[in-house]
Structure 1
Amino acid sequence: MEPFVGLLQRQQQSLVMTPQLIASIRLLQLAHAELHQFVEQEIEKNPFLELASNDTAASADSSTSPGEDPSICARANNADGPRAENSELLGQWKSIRDTTNTAAGERPALEEFAASAETLHDHVARQIALTAFTPQERLIAGELASHLEDTGYIHVDLLELALRLNVQEADVERVLGTLQLLDPPGIFARTLSECLEIQLRQRDRFDPAMAALIANLEMLAQRDFQALTRHCGVDEDDLLDMLHEVRTLDPKPGNRYQSGAPDYIIPDVWVLPSPGGGWQIELNPDTLPKVLINQTYFAEVSRLTADNSADQAFLNECLENASWLVRSLDQRAKTILKVATEIVRQQDVFLEHGIAHLRPLNLKTVAEAIEMHESTVSRVTSNKYMLTPRGVFELKYFFTVAIASTQGGDAHSAEAVRHRIKAIIAAEAADEVLSDDEIVARLKETGISIARRTVTKYREAMNIPSSVQRRRENRVRIQWRSKA
């Protein structure tokens, strides 16, 4: 066969993702804190972007007609499904809306004048300052305190610390022993056993039997009380007293002090009961950046640089990027609202009656209902939270796998089955602990078909001990109550 060289023309379709398309997709999955940071970075780079002030947002709100609601909201009716209160409003909404306007003379919040809570490190530093240390010991104590964790534990190599400070390891151990006498009891421990030992020594209760118990915490975790009686050399009554005293100890003594500012979950969507029935779904305005394009400044600068093509091209690019950001923020808000509205429509029974009525739901069902791709729904539901009458939930919480029903009805969601397992175990009698096989039988009576290994997996995920361990705990609890 002779070689052939020629030109061929072929037509094919391919998807090319522009940088702006990639950025728009990334905006969907950003949490509100990350979104605000991204917007601030864009404002620093773009001279025509600015955050809308409260006065600007107020003037924008006042420009609406008297009967028009400037916020995005929708209602989910049980019969007809969710519907927008004003379908035209949803398309006209812009990200400059702000419903958190404050009056000019509004007083600051009282929290601004509240004293900050004392942290663990502040509490320890105050005690170290009052302790009779030599200058060298105070230096060692300060270095050890810098390694103190928020839980009250310390993980540091004493020999390495001694070499760095040019002191003897025995000196470091002596200072550490003094620090372990500070408040709260159990602080500066290196292990759980040492933490419990410190607290027991301060109570003068660390006798040989208690020392044997603390040295065998694994047996205590496994509820192997017979082996513990042999190791401790005590009878069951004495062991019950020892276990009761161990339960009064604090395994993480530093947790009682505030380590920093608490982390709050700010919901992206609010779901409230509607006066006319159904549910009202609104976007939280605090999570939406209010961005404006300064067209006046663009016109002024363009007039001054009309003769410079390079400057004019730069200005046009900045204006185009600014317009893209405003459109992307609007589209992101509308997409979140559409996904949240469909989730509420699918899970309206859960909102009415609780977790036992949570329906199985997947991304494909929501994507087909709102005519979007599954990947878009997945990005929208990542790191987004919904405030409901049942509490605050991540949007992904409402997506659970389906478990078949033995009675031919609707399938059950995995989360509802976990809740049912937890309720069955909580209701079991102290002398009739149910095994996983018996739980499977109880579930089958209610129409839930599930394997034993699945029950075991769900039980372990909820940190519920096995039937053998629960039986041991109940036996100890009954003996303790009879003794008391």
Structure 2
Amino acid sequence: MVLKNRLELRLQQRLALTPTLRTRLSILRMGPLDLAEEIAREAARNPFLRHEPPSRMSAAEALPEADLAAPDLGFQEDLRRQLALKPLSPMIAALAEFLVGELREDGFLDVELRILAAEIVQPEALLEQALEVLQSCEPPGIGARTLPECLQLQLVAKGLDAGDAAATVWQLPAFAKRDWPVLKATLGLDENALRARANLLRGLSPRPVPERPLSEAAPLRPDLRLERYSDGQFAIVPHMSARPTVMLDMAMVRRAETEGFAPDLLLRAKTLIDAVDQRGATLARIGEWLVRAQGMFFLQGPEGLVPASRADLAAELDLHPSTISRAVSGKAIDVDGRLWPLAMFFSSALSGPHGMISSRAVKKRISDLIAAEVKAKPLSDETLVEKLSAEGIDIARRTVAKYRQGLRIPSSSARRKLAHARGTEKPGG
């Protein structure tokens, strides 16, 4: 047998989701308070880091020592603990933990897997496997991409197999009408079984993670600030006093370079600082875009909003769409002392008197019309449609109803009853 040397080129797919990338993506998604807590925790165990908390955080707002020792990190940390107990390959474990960081506050995953796969250079099939693992965690429905999927996952957790769960959710309209003949024909169950299935449906939640009461919600802090100048111009700048400062302890770095100790901790420190710097740079670019794209908002308020999407911003800044989603999530801008979530600058478009108009501007107009109505004769949704149409805004009644409900404004009949009840109250009663 003759042995021959041969040179081969092989393409191998490596896990691109390195600890450095995970840190960068995680830091970008954090709001100022979460960022300050994360930096404080890391500095407490990393001798190469020095940090200063946000200057606007008073002593009363500072976290007590007990919280620093065992902070309540919410459902994400609980998911990470659950994942750590599962027998997973390193790749699937890393991808599942990555997906945890992509979840919204309500537990939904609103970024398409194909987009995430392209961003981290991994096969979409692997992300599907990681998502399946994540969706097997508690609470049921976690990681769902749609409401039907959320409900299906909860039904599976209650004992149905995946096929029965999907078929049941598909028949939700029939269950709502208690249309037993149709349900018998489609699901092949008798009425007793169907009633038991209906009871299961009544116990489901539309959100994987319940919304926290306002009293428990974390206060919003700004990352950006509007700065107005005497000539009428304005700019959006970083809100430096509301963000923590983190830096290397250069004395420790020089010692490490001389003695060669703890290189992994030094790398972690540098990675964290780079991630914080990149987060700030990304938000600064978004601020510059807001001046260009939404300048009328800063002059007129919500009525000046123009339609814009996260995809528009991603294309203009040459960033990945999921990068924009992370950067916007949980962030706010200080405009003349009032905080506005960055998410409110992105909305769909409706036809208006001078071209397209932001749906958020339409919501503001609906709110103003209702605020000015005669309380004893509240405006119906049909009347609101007529008034908006007279102003050149093309909108359907069901859209008005949806926007009104989103503003948490009761229907006209409910507002009329409330006005009547208030009118019949006796003074001092």
TM-score, normalization: structure 2? 0.55
CA shift for structure 1 position 373: 1.3
CA shift for structure 1 position 9: 6.5
Q: Which of 374, 391, 396 is the matching residue for 1:451?
A: 396
Query: Percentage identity across aligned positions?
Result: 30
Q: Show the counterpart of 2:371.
A: 426
CA shift for structure 1 position 270: 0.9
Residue 230 of structure 2 corresponds to residue 283 of structure 1: no
The secondary structure found in structure 1 opposite 2:227 is strand
Aligned 8 A contact 2:237 2:284 in 1: yes
Q: Show the counterpart of 1:193.
A: none
Aligned 8 A contact 2:224 2:237 in 1: yes
Q: Output the CA distance in 2 between the equivalents of 1:417 and 1:49.
A: 48
Q: Show the counterpart of 2:412.
A: 467
Change in Cα spacing, 1:41 to 1:426, as seen in structure 2 (3 Å) is closer
Change in Cα spacing, 1:393 to 1:41, as seen in structure 2 (3 Å) is same
Q: Which of 342, 356, 359 is the matching residue for 2:303?
A: 356
Q: Which of 320, 336, 340 is the matching residue for 1:393?
A: 340
The residue correspondences of 1:305-344 to structure 2 (distance < 5 A) are 305=259, 312=260, 314-344=261-291
CA shift for structure 1 position 443: 0.8
Deviation sequence 1:355-406 (CA, Å, 0-9, x none): 222222210111122221111111111111111037211111111111123x
Unpaired segments ≥5 residues, structure 1: 1-7, 54-97, 102-107, 113-258, 306-311
Aligned 8 A contact 2:23 2:272 in 1: no
CA shift for structure 1 position 38: 1.6
Q: Output the CA distance in 1 between the equivalents of 2:223 and 2:294.
A: 18
TM-score, normalization: structure 1? 0.49
Q: Output the CA distance in 2 between the equivalents of 1:414 and 1:38.
A: 36
Q: Show the counterpart of 1:19.
A: 19
CA shift for structure 1 position 291: 2.2
CA shift for structure 1 position 262: 10
Q: Output the CA distance in 1 between the equivalents of 2:52 and 2:242.
A: 14
CA shift for structure 1 position 341: 2.2
Q: Output the CA distance in 2 between the equivalents of 1:427 and 1:41.
A: 50
Aligned 8 A contact 1:271 1:282 in 2: yes
Q: Output the CA distance in 2 between the equivalents of 1:427 and 1:344.
A: 31
The secondary structure found in structure 2 opposite 1:419 is helix
Residue 392 of structure 2 corresponds to residue 437 of structure 1: no
Residue 51 of structure 2 corresponds to residue 51 of structure 1: yes
The residue identity in structure 2 corresponding to 1:266 is R
Q: Show the counterpart of 1:176.
A: none
The residue correspondences of 1:66-465 to structure 2 (distance < 5 A) are 264-303=219-258, 305=259, 312=260, 314-389=261-336, 391-405=338-352, 407=353, 409-429=354-374, 433-465=378-410
The secondary structure found in structure 2 opposite 1:411 is strand
Q: Output the CA distance in 2 between the equivalents of 1:340 and 1:404.
A: 27
Change in Cα spacing, 1:449 to 1:297, as seen in structure 2 (3 Å) is same
The secondary structure found in structure 2 opposite 1:348 is coil
Q: Output the CA distance in 2 between the equivalents of 1:301 and 1:379.
A: 34
Unpaired segments ≥5 residues, structure 2: 1-7, 62-213
Deviation sequence 1:417-459 (CA, Å, 0-9, x none): 1121122223334565432222111111111111111111222
Count the aligned residue pairs: 269
The residue identity in structure 2 corresponding to 1:459 is R
Q: Show the counterpart of 1:30.
A: 30
